[in-house]
Amino acid sequence: MSDASRLERANPGPDEVVTLIVKHRVKAGFEVPYEAWLRNIVKVAGQNVGHLGVDVVRGKHAGLDTYTCVLRFCSTEAMQGWLDSPQRQKLVDEAAPMLADGDQTEVNPVNEFWFAPPAEAGTPPPRWKQAVVTLLVILPHTLLVPLLWGPLLRLHAVLSNYVVATFLITLTIVLSVVYVFMPMATRLFAPWLSPSTLHKEP
């Protein structure tokens, strides 16, 4: 399936945070050069406009090392720019001889991968574990964000309007959770959420 058709299937909005999920299964004997290649492409991807970060999940499948790379972008346009870039195409061509199944990509809204099964695991974490991690992230925000916004909201009558104040507080919580704290929490609790460990690429 082409990158364009995957984008059409996922159909995220133009301003929605999205993830590009890249899966590689490395041929035996190519583990060391692949790791060097991976460090390089992570560095290059991080220099692209709209790139928000990358996580790498390492695992095993059919006796071969597997890598699930989760690249986050601020929009579909930013992600497509990376997919179509000559830098990525050149690097993918370099990796081709090392891959058992080629370069496999798929696209998801960012929140769909917070608790997605790592690598080739069969099922995501239990829902109660997902709920616990989500609660640990959301609860401090609901307690602290209104307190932080309080002094500013009292400066003007428009800001103190219930709808406006609720919108600003909710927007702050959503952006903070999506961009910063939920990705951090899933990495932190990865050993508890599943047997596989989620590693952050330097």
Full set of structural domains in the chain with CATH: 3-113 (3.30.70.100), 127-194 (no CATH)
pLDDT tier for residue 7 given thresholds of 50, 70 and 90: very low
Identify the CA nearest to 200 among candidates 88, 188, 129: 188
Q: What is the CA radius of gyration of the chain?
A: 19
Count other Cβ atoms within 10 Å, centred on residue 11.
10
**Could you tell me which residue, 193 or 11, shows the higher pLDDT?**
193
Decide the pairing of beta strands 51-61 and 64-73. Answer: antiparallel
What contacts 132, CB < 8 A, 6 or more positions away?
Answer: none
For residue 5, pLDDT over 70 is answered with no
Which tokens go with 48? 């692209």
To 5 degrees, how large is the angle CA 71–CA 130–CA 142? Answer: 90
Residue 80 contacts residue 46 (beta carbons within 8 Å): no
Q: Does the pLDDT value for residue 14 go beyond 80?
A: no
Q: Specify the pTM.
A: 0.53
Look at residue 112 and tell me whether its pLDDT is greater than 60. Answer: no
| Max intra-chain CA distance, the chain | 67
Q: 187-190 contacts: CB < 8 A, separation 24 or more? A: 187/55, 189/133, 190/118
Contact 56, 201 (CB under 8 A): yes
- Alpha carbon distance 119, 25 (integer Å): 10
Question: pLDDT digit string (tens) for 25-61?
Answer: 999 999 999 999 999 999 999 888 888 888 888 888 8
Lowest-pLDDT range of 13-17, 83-87, 158-162: 13-17
Residue 94 has pLDDT above 70, yes or no: yes
Lowest mean pLDDT among 64-73, 116-125, 126-135, 178-187: 116-125
C-alpha to C-alpha distance for 77 and 15, rounded to whole angstroms: 9
Q: What pLDDT score was predicted for residue 61?
A: 82
